[in-house]
């Protein structure tokens, strides 16, 4: 099993900040931080067995999608030596449209 480096793209980092802000404002900063930490830990686990989730070449060549805790969708690409987390979509956002634009 090949081990890859996991990188979080700038857009995904902005998504995580937005998710944090939304949860912190709707609930509490502690809950928001805990949720973001769980997402980041889950993404770091893509270093092994990277080709998980569902391939969505119909949207973008090499794109893969995986759900997280029934509340978020993670979009990523697996390359030879790395996995790039492209975006993290929270709730019912129309991620398909957002990734095609």
Q: What is the pLDDT of residue 56?
A: 93
Q: What is the pLDDT of residue 8?
A: 97
Q: What is the pLDDT of residue 88?
A: 96
Q: What is the pLDDT of residue 2?
A: 87
Q: What is the pLDDT of residue 91?
A: 76
Residues near 42 by Cβ (< 8 Å), separated by ≥ 6? Answer: 68, 74
Q: What is the pLDDT of residue 96?
A: 64
The mean pLDDT values, 10 residues at a time, for the chain of 101 residues are 93 96 94 97 93 91 93 94 95 65 62
Is 5-100 assigned to CATH 3.30.70.980?
no
Would you list the DSSP string of 33-97?
HHHHHHHHHHHHGGGSS---SEE-TTTSTTEEEEEETTTEEEEEEE-SSEEEEEEEEETT--HHH
Dihedral, CA of residue 39, residue 67, residue 3 and residue 9, to nearest 10: -60
Q: What is the pLDDT of residue 95?
A: 61
As a whole number of angstroms, the distance between CA 19 and CA 78 comes to 24
Q: What is the pLDDT of residue 94?
A: 62
Q: What is the pLDDT of residue 98?
A: 63
């Amino acid at each position: 099993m090949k081990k890859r480096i996991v990188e979080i793209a700038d857009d995904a980092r902005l998504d995580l900040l937005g998710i944090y802000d939304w949860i912190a404002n709707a609930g509490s900063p502690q809950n928001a931080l805990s949720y973001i930490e769980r997402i980041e830990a889950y993404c770091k686990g893509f270093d092994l067995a990277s080709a998980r989730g569902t391939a969505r070449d119909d949207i973008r060549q090499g794109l893969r999608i995986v759900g997280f805790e029934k509340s978020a969708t993670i979009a990523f690409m697996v390359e030879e030596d790395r996995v790039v987390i492209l975006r993290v979509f929270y709730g019912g956002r129309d991620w398909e449209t957002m990734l095609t634009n």
